[in-house]
């Protein structure tokens, strides 16, 4: 059920193959608390008044209590998932999140939601846009995203460029919150860092 106070939909993208993790679904990796990344992200999103859905159907997540969206048919990749999320959200705001980002906070999501009106809003780092901490005006963004999908363009960087995305300015704390667990080395580093109070 969608809450009347919902500010939009947070889509957690879970469709990747997790090859660098040996096939273990990244969203089900556990933090030191014993909770999974998906659980932590869902709590942060709910606290920011966002409905939570999973984007990209994966059997490992079937037992979780969230609606699961199949990627849009046709070309594969994250743009197919974004089409599915924007379509589901309809006239509501969409927020794209990655299932391997365990440190996203409610405060960061609230800042993203509070940015002035724009078709898309996202942080920008040294390597370009951060597409999995991005906000979309779903109905306005969908035609261009769908066009890119039908053209088999799979890079979200290209989509965000095409949408004239507004830049979300990040504090140092915000930038640290965007760290992801892309490999076993990332997981080990963050767990060791938490045990030593950040002194590794």
pTM for this structure? 0.86
Domain assignment present for 1: no
Q: Return the CATH number at 58.
A: 3.90.550.10
Rg (CA), the chain: 16
- pLDDT at residue 53 in the model: 97
Task: Name the percent of the chain lying above pLDDT 90.
Answer: 64
Which domain range does residue 51 map to?
A: 8-191
Is residue 55 within a helix (H) or strand (E), and if so which, with residue range? strand 50-55
Domain assignment present for 2: no
Domain assignment present for 149: yes
Give per-residue pLDDT as tens, 169-199: 998 888 888 887 554 444 444 444 444 344 3
SS3 annotation, 105-156: CHHHHHHHHHCCCCCEEEEEECCEECCCEEEEEHHHHHHHHHHHHHCCCCCH
Domain count of the fold of the chain? 1
């Amino acid at each position: 059920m969608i809450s009347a106070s919902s500010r939009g939909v947070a889509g957690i993208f879970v469709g990747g193959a997790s090859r660098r993790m040996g096939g273990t679904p990244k969203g089900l990796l556990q933090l030191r608390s014993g909770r999974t990344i998906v659980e932590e992200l869902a709590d942060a999103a709910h606290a920011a008044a966002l409905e939570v859905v999973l984007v990209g159907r994966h059997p490992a997540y079937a037992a979780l209590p969230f609606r699961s969206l199949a990627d849009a048919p046709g070309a594969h990749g994250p743009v197919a998932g974004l089409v599915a999320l924007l379509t589901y959200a309809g006239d509501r705001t969409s927020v794209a999140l990655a299932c391997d980002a365990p440190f996203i906070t409610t405060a960061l999501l609230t800042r993203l939601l509070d940015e002035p009106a724009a078709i898309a809003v996202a942080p920008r780092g040294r390597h370009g846009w951060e597409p999995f901490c991005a906000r979309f005006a779903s109905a306005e963004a969908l035609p261009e995203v769908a066009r890119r999908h039908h053209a088999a363009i799979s890079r979200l960087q290209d989509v965000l460029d095409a949408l004239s995305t507004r830049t979300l300015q990040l504090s140092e704390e915000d930038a640290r919150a965007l760290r992801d667990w892309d490999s076993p080395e990332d997981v080990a580093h963050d767990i060791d860092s938490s045990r030593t109070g950040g002194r590794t």
